[in-house]
């Protein structure tokens, strides 16, 4: 596919459970970003990868959140001991590292914690 893909599109889990959200960036894009969007709000930054390494993880809310990108392509966002407040749409974006470094977004994963 030509665009950013995210799986699953919807995830319903119970409070306290562990979840993994997957992002497949556009082929060749070295930069990958995770954002979280709550209802009625703009997306909020979580973490940014340049290649395999996390260049900026300052947006992760606490140590229950962790993300990896072991081969510099696919990324997984992991949330431990989920809480109801984690319910949101999790968006992934990718970009090249050359201007214009437009960020292209995937359709998102809607996470609901019951």
Partner 1 sequence: KQEVTQIPAALSVPEGENLVLNCSFTDSAIYNLQWFRQDPGKGLTSLLLIQSSQREQTSGRLNASLDKSSGRSTLYIAASQPGDSATYLCAVRSYGGSQGNLIFGKGTKLSVKP
**Pairs from 32-35 (Cβ < 8 Å, separation ≥ 24):** 32/69, 32/75, 32/92, 32/93, 32/94, 33/92, 33/93, 33/94, 33/95, 33/103, 34/67, 34/75, 34/77, 34/90, 34/91, 34/92, 35/90, 35/91, 35/92, 35/93
Kindly report the backbone phi and psi dihedral angles of residue 68, in degrees, each rounded to the nearest multiple of 5, phi listed first. Answer: -135, 160
Of the two residues 83 and 101, which places its CB atom closer to partner 1 in the complex? 101
When asked if residue 72 is in the footprint of partner 1 (CB under 8 A), the reply is no
Stretch that binds partner 1, among 13-21, 44-52, 61-69, 76-84 (CB under 8 A): 44-52
- According to the binding rule CB under 8 A, does residue 48 interact with partner 1? yes
> Which CB atom, from 27 or from 102, has the smaller least distance to partner 1?
102
Q: Is the peptide bond before 93 cis (omega within 30 degrees of 0)?
A: no
Task: By CB under 8 A, tell whether 68 contacts partner 1.
Answer: no
Q: Which is nearer to partner 1, 70 or 99 (CB)?
A: 99
Q: Which of residues 21-40 bind partner 1 (CB under 8 A)?
A: 31, 33, 35, 40
Binding site for partner 1 (CB under 8 A): 4, 31, 33, 35, 40-45, 48, 50, 55-56, 58-59, 91, 93, 99-108, 110
């Amino acid at each position: 596919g030509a665009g950013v893909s995210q799986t699953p599109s919807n995830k319903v889990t119970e409070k306290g459970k562990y979840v993994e959200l997957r992002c497949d960036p556009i082929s060749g894009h070295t930069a990958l970003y995770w954002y979280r969007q709550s209802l009625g709000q703009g997306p909020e930054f979580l973490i940014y990868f340049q290649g395999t390494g996390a260049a900026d993880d300052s947006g992760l809310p606490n140590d229950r959140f962790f993300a990896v990108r072991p081969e510099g392509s696919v990324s997984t966002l992991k949330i431990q001991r989920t809480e109801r407040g984690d319910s949101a749409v999790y968006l992934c974006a990718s970009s090249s590292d050359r201007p214009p470094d437009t960020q292209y977004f995937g359709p998102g994963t809607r996470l609901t914690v019951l």
